[in-house]
Amino acid sequence: MLQASVSAASLVVEIVAGRMLAPYVGMSLYTWTSIIAVVLAGFSAGHWWGGRLAERDGASALARTGWATLGAALTTGAALWLLGWLAAPVLGALAHPVWGIAALCMAVFFLPSFFAGVPAPVLAKIAVDDSIRPGRALGAMFASGAIGAIAGTLLAGFLSISWLGTALTLALITAVYALAAVLLLAMAQRLSASSVTAVALALALSGAALAAPRPCTVESRYFCLRSVDVSADPQSPVRMMVIDHLTHGISAHDQPLVMFTEHAAMLDALARLRAPRADFTSFFIGGGNYAVPRAFAHRGAGAMSVAEIDPAVTAMAARDFWFDPTTAEVLHQDARRALLERPDRYDIIIGDAFTDVAVPAHLVTREFFELVATRLTANGSYLMNVIDYEGRLDALASLARTLDAVFPSVEIWTSTAPPVPGARVVFVIAAGQAPTNVASFNAPAPGPTTFAAIDPGWIARLISTKGMILTDDFAPIDRLVGRPD
């Protein structure tokens, strides 16, 4: 039972680590790869050290294991504080996102995993020595550890994070480690004033974290969500939605038609320029702060459907960003599944899934774009925002080439302002049966901004030199959007 509890606690910390890192580095393949690698490294080192302790006599091994479990309690209780202190200097010192994520994971989560890995060999050795059937005892220990790990994973992923939040979940895990340490020290008859003090310190650290300011307004099953007031005039509110660590939209109460980001301004304007009729129908892949659907509804566009996987995002948009949910059909499911299940056709489909290095790979493949094409009307258009580095453009090239394999016409739009060398640039790709009937347009973003279609010859050269066709079998979009070396 003790081993199952420690294993469950350690896996809860591993799952919670993803949510803890999200406000600083987002959620991506790199984030989870780093978390899993660091946690497994910690477990491995802890098992090795636990094996050395298991060679001692029973009381001595239990006592040292109890102190190791106290180490797990202390480092888990301090994890939120440590992450807050280290995130800015570590990420500032390591500009490449992959190295920054890995280093931050190592700094915060290696020691909790190391200490949590110590008890298994010691408890297994004691179980085998005290049993007349050592093989069965050893198997039972392995099974209990695995069952505990499964329980911890399910508990964190389905219940504790979304119901309790990160800080309270870590406080409970700290308490589990502290109780396990007390039991181990009591079994070894080594419970002392210093160990009780360490338990109190661990509980105090995790308890204090509960009172500290939280980076999330809402912790949903999917994201860390924040609603931030950026108003210059309190009588005319303007709010920014932050999902994990990135701004996903800004809306003003009194200016529903003004887009405060370049990608939203382009999506809004291009949809109207390319729509075959004034009351055009639309389907949105991702809702965010619902700025564009809100603008469409204000202008009296046709029926809208929005596939936003997180109900908490929609609830926040309705509560803080003045979106009226009755103006659109909101589908709280994955956009690809929503399009697969629905035979409806739309005049405009908008893909707004690009954020940072985290891009849903299944929404950028040839097979997905072929599905999109079947859900467009005869003169319909697909618009998607793309963010890429000025000196790289591998992701932009590959997305354009993939769309070019599906649609007769593919355009790339961006601001006419010269990009800063090495900076990230916002683009919108417009795909359909024919090109847009204008070469440029002006739109508030929020100040007057001119956007233009990039020369088709330049696009052809970009596709031929850098582009690859992304498929369900191979879509390395995380690597393609990486920072240039």
pLDDT at 357: 59
pLDDT at 21: 85
Q: How confident is the model at residue 345 (pLDDT cuts 50, 70, 90)?
A: very high
Phi then psi dihedrals of residue 482, to 5 deg: -65, 155
Most trustworthy range by pLDDT among 150-164, 335-349, 352-366: 335-349
Residue 407's closest CA among 439, 440, 438, 383?
383
Please give the residue that has the higher pLDDT: either 97 or 257. Answer: 257
Cβ contact 423:380 at 8 Å = no
Residue 432: is its pLDDT beyond 60? yes
Most trustworthy range by pLDDT among 19-23, 29-33, 213-217, 360-364: 360-364
Q: What is the pLDDT of residues 68-109, one digit of tens each?
A: 999 999 999 889 888 888 888 988 888 777 888 899 999 999
Q: How confident is the model at residue 20 (pLDDT cuts 50, 70, 90)?
A: confident
Residue 273: is its pLDDT beyond 80? yes
Q: Which two tokens stand for residue 209?
A: 């974290």
What's the average model confidence in pLDDT over 11-27? 83
Please give the residue that has the higher pLDDT: either 30 or 85. Answer: 85
Q: What is the pLDDT of residues 403-431, one digit of tens each?
A: 999 999 999 999 999 888 878 899 999 99
Residues 6+ apart with CB under 8 A from 16: 156, 160, 161, 166, 169, 170, 173
Amino acid letter for position 47: H
Q: How confident is the model at residue 479 (pLDDT cuts 50, 70, 90)?
A: confident
Please give the residue that has the higher pLDDT: either 485 or 453. Answer: 453
pLDDT at 483: 62
Share of the chain above pLDDT 90, in %: 51
Amino acid letter for position 197: T
Q: What is the pLDDT of residues 162-207, one digit of tens each?
A: 788 888 888 899 999 999 888 888 888 888 888 888 888 888 888 8
Please give the residue that has the higher pLDDT: either 163 or 41. Answer: 41
Q: Where is average pLDDT lowest: 40-49, 121-130, 328-337, 449-458?
A: 121-130
User: Does the bond joining 446 to the residue before it have cis omega, within 30 degrees of 0?
Assistant: yes
Residue 144's closest CA among 160, 127, 161?
127
Give strand ranges (E) for 416-463. 424-432, 440-444, 448-453
Please give the residue that has the higher pLDDT: either 137 or 272. Answer: 272
Residue 293: is its pLDDT beyond 80? yes
Per the prediction, the chain carries an average pLDDT of 89
pLDDT at 234: 82
Q: What is the DSSP letter of 158?
A: I
Residue 485: is its pLDDT beyond 90? no
Q: What is the pLDDT of residues 346-377, one digit of tens each?
A: 999 999 877 655 688 899 999 999 999 999 99
Residue 482: is its pLDDT beyond 80? no
Residue 151: is its pLDDT beyond 80? yes
Cβ contact 427:412 at 8 Å = yes
Cβ contact 236:230 at 8 Å = no
Phi-psi region of 323 (alpha: psi -120 to 50; beta: other; left: phi over 0): beta
